Amino acid sequence: MTAPGPTGERLQKVLANAGVGSRRQIEEWIRAGRVEVNGKVAQLGDRVGPRDRIRIDGRLLPPASREPVARQILVYNKPEGEIVTRVDPEGRKTVFESLPRPKGGRWVAVGRLDIGTSGLLILTTDGELANRLMHPSREIEREYAVRVLGSVAPATLDRLCEGVALDDGPARFDSIADLGGEGANHWYSVVLREGRYREVRRLWEAVDAKVSRLKRVRFGPVALTSRDRVGHVRDATAAERAALLELAGLPPEAPARPARRRAPGSRGRPASRPSAPAAPYRGPRPRKGS
State the catalytic residues. 114
Containing 147, the helix (H) or strand (E) segment is strand 142-149
Beta sheet of 54-56, edge-to-edge order: 40-41, 35-37, 54-56, 59-61
By the 8 A CB rule, do 290 and 183 touch?
A: yes
> Which amino acid does the sequence have at 83?
I
156 CB contacts (<8 Å, ≥6 apart)? 207, 209
Containing 78, the helix (H) or strand (E) segment is strand 73-78
49 CB contacts (<8 Å, ≥6 apart)? 2, 7, 8
Count of other CB atoms within 10 angstroms of residue 235: 12
Give the 3-state secondary structure of residue 169: strand
